[in-house]
Each structure stands twice: as structure tokens, then as C-alpha cells.
Amino acid sequence: MNFKRNAAVFGAVAVGAMTLAACGSDNNSASSGTSVNSAASTATCEGKDSLSAAGSSAQKNAMDNFVATYISVCKDKGTDVKIAYNPTGSGDGRTQFIAKQVDFAGSDSAIKGDQAVAAKERCAGNDAWNLPLVFGPVAIAYNLDGVDTLTLNGEVIAKIFSGGITKWNDPAIAALNDGVALPDEAITPIVRSDSSGTTDNFQQYLTVASNGAWTKGAGSDFVGGVGEGAKGSAGVSQAVAGAPGSITYVEKSFADQNNLSVAQIDSGAGAVELTDESAAKAIEGATFKSEAVGDMTLNLDSIFGTKEAGAYPIVLATYEIVCSKGYDADTSAAVKSFLTSAANEGQDGLAEQGYVGLPGTVQDKLNASIAAIG
């Protein structure tokens, strides 16, 4: 999953910049336009001056923003810092975290099962916590000449992506779009050909929101059995842009970049357009598997299955995986300071990157959990 990919990514840079290992380089530092009220920041900039992390590519641009902001905050406090984030994918990030190769990991899904057990050993016998720091909406993007406004629901989307609905003027679509002239045209679903957190979360959404119409299950590989494959978020969005009658699931930023039409979603309380505000409303209603301070693994059904008016339900969360305790003192202080900055002033400007800033309810709980890291 990737909310927004740039053609260039980070290479090694000097002190006070962010390092990312990938195919190319593009320096990003606090001088890139980040303006921060450092005096208002509660980040201490204490602990070791260099942190390392790896994992979810979905977080790449958000991390750019977090790091540039943190550099600016700490520079104003008289401290030079370095943060290295390598967007190698969620699975690799979790593996590196368990192996003590990085200080924290970014992941599209919470660490669990055998990996959680191994992470507990890495954390000196203490639990690893999943802290949701980055949220981004997924668009149902389509290419249908003459149809600028389209409403779908979970059941219809599930049938489209499993072959149960094959024409745009199908009665089930028409029932959601009174007065819209739908063409007698074949629907071409475009799906991810590569393993993807976006696919996994999309299929989890269908499992929750389709009233039983989606029976295929979830997972990082598309299991609907229909459609044409394209690689990556860029691939599916470009494929839809060039194929009349097609539809896909893709991060909002890619739909915007390719000028794709985006369907409204009706979860039972009326059609909802995908906006920052409607996505944030779904996040505000999110619940967690535990309400205690600490681990913040989300109950995704509370987002995907929302019935709240004005809430857009297809919103993905990515986590930072950290040790609850077990770091040395310098690492603990640095991790807490960086995440404090990221959870607060680091959220500014995320909308321009295709993300949704943290609602206050989530932000408050996240700040308490970060403060509790030992």
C-alpha cells in the first residue's frame, strides 16, 4: 500500500536530514518549506540523535513530513537529529524490528501472533505496541463517460469485484443512482496484480460492509477472481484513466493525480463524498481492541462498518510498532520525542500528501500511549 509515491526517494544526506534506501534520491529537510512553531512543540529532542526505522511504503510521504518537522523543532531547540526510514514494506519492517535492526517499524497491519511473541523477546520481555499514526482514504475510482456523480455501496462494490455485476446499468447500481443515465456498458474491474496492503484492507472492507455478498475473504493478494491486473497504485490508476468502463480501488492521491472520478459511498445513511472531513469522521468513530493506554490496535470493523451519516468508510491505518518497554534510556527518549512530534505538529500538511490528519480523539489517546513508553 502506498498513499502517494514519488518517482524519487531519499538517499543519504547530511546531518539533520532523512535517509531512505530506494531507487533514486531526493533530499528533504526542514528547509524544504516546513514552518513549525517549535516553542509550542512538546517534543523534547532528548535521547540519542539518530533513530532508524523501516517498513510500510504507505507512510513514506508522511514520514517525510514528520522528519522535516522534527528536524526543524529540534534545530530550534539547539539539537541536530537524524531519522532514517527505509520504506521496504510492512513485512520487512516487522522482521527488522524483531531482529533489533531498527528502533521502530512502520506496518500496514498490527503485529500479532508469532511475530508478536518474537517482538516481546526483542523488547526484553515486554509487549510491542501498535500505534496508528498515519491514516489515508481509498477511493473507488472509475472511468465512465458522462457519469460525473456515481453512488455505490459495499454490496454492489463486492458484486462488481467478484463478477456478480457486470454492466453499468445493472438494476442494483441504478437503484443507488436515481436520475443518472447509466450506459449499457461492460464493467472492467482493475485490480492490484501485486501483493498489497491496500488490497487486504479493501477486501476486509468488503467482508464487513457487503451484507454477505463478499465471500472470498481478505489478504494481500486479490481473491475476487475477476478483473484485469496492474502493478502498484500508479498502475491501477493509470489503467483506469486509459480504459473507459473501468473501476478500481486506489489511494485518493492517485485518483486525484490521474483526474479520475470517485464514487460516493452509501453505507446506509446516504451517499458520502470522499473528502478529508468525511474520512476523518470515520476515524473519529474508530474503536480499539483495548481502551487502556498502550497498544492501540484498531477494531477495523468500527471504521469499515460505520453507519454514521457523513462518514466515508474505506480508510486505511498504518502503525508504528514500538517496544512498550525494553529500550535503553537514550533510545526510549528519542523514540518518544520523535513520535510526540509526529503525532502533533507533524500532522500539519498531511492532507496535501493524500493523508488524513489525526482527529482529536485518536490524537489524545496516541499521545498518552507515546508518553507511556518505558
Question: What pLDDT is attached to residue 120?
Answer: 97
Residues 103 and 62 in one domain: yes
- Residue 273 lies inside a defined structural domain of this protein: no
Instruction: Decide if 350 is inside a domain.
Output: yes
**130 and 35 within one domain:** yes
Under the banding of pLDDT at 50, 70 and 90, the label for residue 8 is very low
Q: Indicate whether 131 and 195 sit together in one domain.
A: no
Higher-scoring residue by pLDDT: 8, 142: 142
Whether residue 88 is found in the same domain as residue 173: no
Confirm whether 12 is domain-assigned. no
Last residue of one domain, picked from the residues 212, 234, 259: 259
Sequential DSSP letters for 339-367: HHHHHTGGGTTGGGGT-BPPPHHHHHHHH
- In a domain, residue 26? The reply is yes
Last residue of a domain, one of 211, 233, 259: 259
Q: How is the chain split among helix, strand and coil, in percent rounded to 5?
A: 35, 20, 45
- The Cβ of residue 53 has, within 10 Å, a number of other Cβ atoms equal to 26
Q: Model pTM?
A: 0.78
177 & 122 share domain: no
Let me know if 325 is exposed, middle or buried by CB neighbors in 10 A (0-12, 13-18, 19+): middle
Query: Residue written as cell 470522499?
Result: 274
What pLDDT shows up at residue 28? 32
Q: Which residue has the cell 517482538?
A: 119
How much is the pLDDT for 200?
87
**Band of residue 3 on the pLDDT scale cut at 50, 70, 90:** very low
pLDDT tier at 194, thresholds 50, 70, 90: confident
pLDDT tops 60 at residue 35: no
**Does residue 59 lie in a domain region?**
yes
In a shared domain, residues 157 and 132: no
Residues whose CB is less than 8 angstroms from the CB of residue 231 and which lie 6 or more positions away in sequence, other chains included: 192, 193, 194
Residues 252-270 have pLDDT tens digits of: 988 998 999 999 999 999 9
End-to-end Cα spacing for the chain: 31
Average pLDDT over residues 165-183: 98
The predicted pLDDT at position 175 comes to 98
Question: Is residue 147 over pLDDT 90?
Answer: yes
Q: Are residues 114 and 152 in the same domain?
A: no
Task: Decide which of 92 and 336 is more confident.
Answer: 336
pLDDT greater than 50 at residue 155 = yes
Q: In the prediction, which pLDDT does 228 show?
A: 97
Q: Given this model, what pLDDT does residue 359 score?
A: 86
pLDDT attached to residue 27: 32
Residue 71 has pLDDT above 50, yes or no: yes
Q: Do 116 and 148 belong together in one domain?
A: no
Which has more confidence, 17 or 67?
67
What average pLDDT does range 112-135 have in this prediction?
Answer: 96
User: Which residue range(s) make up the domain with 249?
Assistant: 144-259
Residue 257, helix vs strand vs coil: helix
> Is it the case that residue 212 has pLDDT exceeding 90?
yes
Contact between residue 51 and residue 323 where contact means Cβ atoms under 8 Å apart: no
Q: Are residues 152 and 131 in the same domain?
A: no
Q: Is there a domain that residue 225 lies in? A: yes
Average pLDDT score, the chain = 89
Tell me the percentage of the chain whose pLDDT exceeds 90.
Answer: 74
Which residue among 239, 259, 279 closes a domain?
A: 259
Is residue 283 situated within a structural domain?
A: no
CA 168 to chain CA mean position, Å:
30
What domain count does the chain have? 2
Q: What is the mean pLDDT of residues 162-173?
A: 98
Q: What is the CATH number of the domain that holds 85?
A: 3.40.190.10
Q: What is the distance, to the nearest Å, from the Cα of residue 215 to the centroid of all Cα atoms in its chain?
A: 24
Residue 180 lies in a domain: yes
Give me the pLDDT at residue 285, please: 86
The pairing of strands 287-288 and 298-299 is: antiparallel
Q: What is the pLDDT of residue 38?
A: 67
Q: Are residues 95 and 174 in the same domain?
A: no
Q: pLDDT tens digits for 309-332?
A: 999 999 989 999 999 999 999 999
Q: Are residues 155 and 239 in the same domain?
A: yes
Judged by average pLDDT, the poorest of 18-32, 54-68, 163-177, 353-367 is: 18-32
Q: Are residues 52 and 115 in the same domain?
A: yes
Interatomic CA distance for residues 198 and 105, integer angstroms = 18
178-194: average pLDDT: 96
The average pLDDT across 203-212 equals: 97
For residues 153 and 176, the answer to whether their CB atoms sit within 8 Å is: yes
Determine the average pLDDT of the residues in 39-50.
Answer: 92
CB atoms inside a 10 Å sphere around CB 218 = 17
pLDDT tens for each residue of 223-233:
999 999 999 88
What does the block give as the cell for 65?
513530513
pLDDT of residue 36: 65
pLDDT in the model for residue 173: 98
pLDDT of residue 22: 31
- pLDDT at site 255: 92
